[in-house]
Structure 1
């Protein structure tokens, strides 16, 4: 219950605190058709925030959300701002000043309340690394890894830098990228069922597994249909990984393919058609030159199904449901 409450409250607090002043990465990227260095080398900086911490917004009557009594005291509300909350294994919540180097920790009060929790500043990311829109995960040993970043110091570079944070000693350690990778960018990642961290390269079809004992990488994920850009990974109960293809660099106005990664084989194979299109192709309102290629998140539910949300600038977004028990898709409601 404490962990569930932590997730609900911290997301409520951070989202409510910066909804009016910071768009999501998907919205920030929507001006370009593909958020890749090859296709659009110059992107505008993320929109500026207010010069000072914005006042907490009023909640709607009878809202189930609760604002934190103490809002995040991040250093730079002008260029950055609170984001990327991560629940740690000790029940505290780690928070980034998105795009800047300062990180913070929310500790619940003596009664376990996150609403009345207090903030302390953590070690900043290492020199030269200040990512925005990057991978992040809590590792089985309690450490936190961040990899890549579409922006570094608010410049669009799709960096291949990365670092691991150890909460026991409040220290970051840089992690070298996989051999030959010049980008990681805003790529996806997942912690597999055996505790191995798997990282994608945003701008290619490459993926790699991290050996935490020596910080070395092993290539994996042969047979990928398209590049990883704009896609997400969802770990399934059967230990495999699900993704919905976004067709970057392989535009198909009718494309509905999905894929499954098998960690035993180290390869991808098709997971069938999602029936309805979940990536934004702009097929009915301009086509390829207007497509954002964005895909919504895929959320694993207790019954083993994944609720996948779509994106469309032409009208209602579609949804689809993947059943990991039967390996089949059904359509969900539009929204």
Structure 2
């Protein structure tokens, strides 16, 4: 179990922190700060090359965020740092809050919310929760129905945002404030949270009931929360694994594993996980640090030695295989960086992007591959497509087994949504079809059939292609399709008449496995 690191051949023109995977396969990256040390409202987009090689990708500057921050919080410019973020069900991007704004002055906790439309390359301001005075580095979670749950970092309040109506409704009150917490969506319709301000206790949110309930406590001697007077109180990331357990890396250097109960209204069980190794007489720790579920089922996590209350520099990497922590080689750019500057994003290729608030980004390629049962499965898709057309794809496990990416609190970068790619004939290459309006944003949906919509690139050459759906870096088996002129007498793209002519191995569901070449996005 040994992965490899390689730097991008085409590095970003700016320093990068938070990264978000858009549904067209490109990566939206936030600029950390400019050459003068000021935080900016700027974002860039990384587009991989024709073989889905992000190392050889190209960078494109996007429209900056709108100036909608309060004047008392260094506004009206909204240039946030350590903020809430999410890719929404319709493919747009939600950004809220910011622990800092423009300058490095602490105590700002920005009160602003915006939505980015990748198709139009435009931002729009949206209302903030009624009665809230700030948002800051709030935790959020996209719910299965596409709404966004957000916690108040100063009170026990939560609020639910509807991206369609652009309105907020009150959520249930928690047992403690949401500050610094890491929220993890589970397949049983709950969100598990290791409480920070009431550690070592845990709670979980029953989505259907809009209710928070107690979820036991982390094991004795394995408290995940570290309170450093004069520094911060922090926890590490929590990642749902393919077997349904949640691996939690602690800011203390301890880890714990949460086992969901059969009945989601019950607390569930916490068991000890392995400790990180000792460095300088103390456990290495995930004190505000990222983690990522790899296609091989292990969790890649970042930790660092104790340094003046923080962890790192340097930043070190481990893979947790469900039982043991395995040290990995560290990328060169991690040598001078603390863990709180690190971000990890799982790519459609199964590789992982690592940014660290500098102008250097590196790619981690893990060893091994997914279990066949983890793959998405296409059950229904039109076999005749045309450039510029919109179509619907049905299948199982389209959202993957997990949100996959996590951080200690802010920088939510979940990738539990389907991407559609087309592998063309020789000389044509590969293209992603932008997906949107997924029928669910749940995780590990099993044998339930869900759907997404996709748009075939307008300038895609005609010909035969192999279509696959990808979730969390894991590709489905492919389906043969033809891209050509629109056939008005046989509208396979008509949502009211989905095509039922799909390949099968006799049971009407599974498809013949084919090995794939690297894949890419349309330029």
What TM-score, normalized to structure 1?
A: 0.72
Per-residue CA distance 1:17-51 (angstroms, 9 max, x = gap): xxxxxxxxxxxxxxxxxxxxxxxxxxxxxxxxxxx
Q: Equivalent residue for 1:91?
A: 25
1:279 aligns with 2:225: yes
Measured in 1, the distance between the counterparts of 2:114 and 2:146 equals 18
Contact 1:237 1:324 in 2 (8 A): no
Measured in 2, the distance between the counterparts of 1:133 and 1:165 equals 18
CA drift at 1:211 = 1.5
Superposed, 1:146-185 pairs within 5 Å as: 146-154=95-103, 155-156=105-106, 157-185=108-136
Higher helix share: 1
Contact 1:231 1:245 in 2 (8 A): yes
1:189 aligns with 2:140: yes
Measured in 1, the distance between the counterparts of 2:256 and 2:120 equals 43
Q: Equivalent residue for 1:262?
A: 206
Q: Equivalent residue for 1:237?
A: 187
Which stretches of structure 1, 4 residues or longer, exceed 6 Å deviation after superposition?
none
Q: Equivalent residue for 2:175?
A: 225
Change in 2 beyond 3 A, CA 1:149/1:290: closer
Higher strand share: 2
Measured in 2, the distance between the counterparts of 1:180 and 1:88 equals 32
CA drift at 1:290 = 5.6
Q: How many residues align?
A: 251
Measured in 1, the distance between the counterparts of 2:11 and 2:182 equals 30
> Which SS does the other structure have where 2:243 is aligned?
coil
Superposed, 1:312-331 pairs within 5 Å as: 312=252, 317-325=253-261, 327-331=268-272
Per-residue CA distance 1:90-116 (angstroms, 9 max, x = gap): 100000102311110010111111110
Contact 1:147 1:161 in 2 (8 A): yes
**Which of these residues, 44, 53, 76, is aligned with residue 104 of structure 1?**
44
Q: Equivalent residue for 2:436?
A: none
Contact 1:105 1:119 in 2 (8 A): yes
Per-residue CA distance 1:55-109 (angstroms, 9 max, x = gap): xxxxxxx9601211111112xxxxxx21101111110000010231111001011
1:300 aligns with 2:246: no
Aligned-residue Cα RMSD (Å) equals 1.5
Change in 2 beyond 3 A, CA 1:102/1:324: same
CA drift at 1:325 = 4.0
Change in 2 beyond 3 A, CA 1:321/1:173: same
Change in 2 beyond 3 A, CA 1:72/1:149: same
Larger RCO, structures 1/2 (Cα 8 Å, 6+ apart): 2
Change in 2 beyond 3 A, CA 1:132/1:291: closer
> Which SS does the other structure have where 2:232 is aligned?
coil
CA drift at 1:171 = 0.2
Q: Equivalent residue for 1:332?
A: 273
CA drift at 1:324 = 1.8
Change in 2 beyond 3 A, CA 1:88/1:118: same
Q: Equivalent residue for 1:246?
A: 196
- Unpaired runs of 5+ residues, structure 2, are 33-38, 68-76, 263-267, 277-523
Superposed, 1:27-66 pairs within 5 Å as: 64-66=4-6
CA drift at 1:291 = 7.0
Measured in 2, the distance between the counterparts of 1:92 and 1:115 equals 12
Measured in 2, the distance between the counterparts of 1:176 and 1:137 equals 16
Measured in 2, the distance between the counterparts of 1:257 and 1:291 equals 22
Superposed, 1:198-213 pairs within 5 Å as: 198-213=149-164
> Which SS does the other structure have where 1:115 is aligned?
helix
- Unpaired runs of 5+ residues, structure 1, are 1-61, 75-80, 283-288
Query: Which of the pair has more CA radius of gyration?
Result: 2
